[in-house]
Amino acid sequence: MILPVWNESQKRSALILFGIASAGAGISIAIGEIGARFSKIWQCLSSFALKNSIPTALLTTLSMIIQCSILIGFISGAVMFMVWWERKVSAHMQNRLGPMFTGGWHGWAQTIADAIKLLLKEDIIPAEAKPWVHRLAPIVAFVPAFLCYAALPFGEGLISADLDIGILYIFAISGLSVLGIVMAGWGSGNKYSLLGGLRSAAQSVSYEIPRVLSVVPILMMVGSLKLTSIANVQTGFWRLAGIPLLPRWFIFYPIVGQIAFLIFLISSVAETNRTPFDIAEAESELVAGFHTEYSGMKFSFFFLAEYAYVFLSSGLTTVLFLGGGSGPVLPSWSWFLLKSFAVVFLFLWFRWTFPRLRVDRLMEFTWKFLLPWSFINILITGFILLF
């Protein structure tokens, strides 16, 4: 085997990356299970409240506010990182340079600078637009994305609302964002926006169906819609003659698991309006599609919603197919984050390697290929469960 010849700067970068990775692993082991720590803090606080006769309603309200703040903070931080990461990945894949100067080391502060720029930009409402529809659209697009995170299990005990209908809740609420895009398309008073909104409506309704149906085999096997119990089923190993062979993740379930995973991944990418499926904002045809007329903070809300959905889909994929937070040595939340960001990398990879689909082929692909195969998959699962 011939080892690649590394020059000095590549060696230094590799060392820095290795340092970051090992420091991250060390810190996450030192922190341990966040869920358990949070519940300890909660117990301390509630006993303190009992002693000093503080009403529990106040305490629960405060806890809700804190949970929401943590989620918002996490989403913004993750989105900042993902935007930078996306640019770096695209740079490596397409031989570009990517951000290099802002902040010094590989342009790490580029997204922060971009965010400040977006905050300071002028907010423009076109004369042709319907003002209140135009103003409300970014909010309608982003708020559902945030609501979905409430039911996403970030690891053991790290879930804001462990709903019994968890997966159904996430599918239902995430479907609301399309309305924001449709509102943006109609309310901007621009033909390009209108076309983008129309395409987006048709696309998301079509891809929502195979996306939901691809999960049905998992629900049939687990017998629950609860995300924590779906994740818990997948701990442990598939054993061959006593030797642990593969983790008990759903993706390794013969045939059914792989088909379901592929359909879910493809339709998730389609739902987030990213490149092979980004006909709603195709810049070579529609300028920028539904967000042509948006600037400054309103545009960044659409941006935030897109990346929030990318991480949400990756988190869902992790919980449904990759065993959630299960894994050795590291605490469950860091396994969840590692797996989720690995799936996020898949999203980025797709975006920078596949060309955009044509509108009619996009529709044919979901109705004539994904949908029948998800039905066949459900049928196979039924047979497996029967025999």
380 is a site residue for another protein (CB under 8 A)? no
135 is a site residue for another protein (CB under 8 A)? no
Interface size with another protein, residues (CB under 8 A): 30
Among residues 149, 154, 169, 303, which is the contact residue for another protein, using CB under 8 A?
169
Q: Pattern of binders to another protein over 216-255, x per CB under 8 A?
A: ---------x------------------------------
Among residues 16, 60, 73, 164, which is the contact residue for another protein, using CB under 8 A?
164
122: left (phi over 0), alpha (psi -120 to 50) or beta: beta
Which span sits near another protein by CB under 8 A: 43-51, 171-179, 293-301, 316-324?
171-179
**Which residue type sits at 102?**
T
Burial 299-325 (b: 16+ CB within 10 A, else e): bbbbbbbbbbbbbbbbbbbbbbbbbbb
Minimum gap (Å) between residue 212 Cβ and another protein: 8
359 is a site residue for another protein (CB under 8 A)? no
210 is a site residue for another protein (CB under 8 A)? no
202 is a site residue for another protein (CB under 8 A)? yes
Which span sits near another protein by CB under 8 A: 97-105, 199-207, 291-299, 301-309?
199-207
Residue among 175 and 276 whose Cβ is closer to another protein: 175
Which span sits near another protein by CB under 8 A: 45-53, 182-190, 336-344, 361-369?
182-190
Residue among 179 and 330 whose Cβ is closer to another protein: 179
How far apart CA 77 and CA 87 sit, in angstroms, is 16
148 is a site residue for another protein (CB under 8 A)? no
Residue among 198 and 330 whose Cβ is closer to another protein: 198
Residue ranges in contact with another protein by CB under 8 A: 128, 130, 133, 163-165, 168-169, 171-173, 175-176, 178-179, 182-183, 185-186, 189, 194, 197-198, 201-202, 204-205, 208, 212, 225
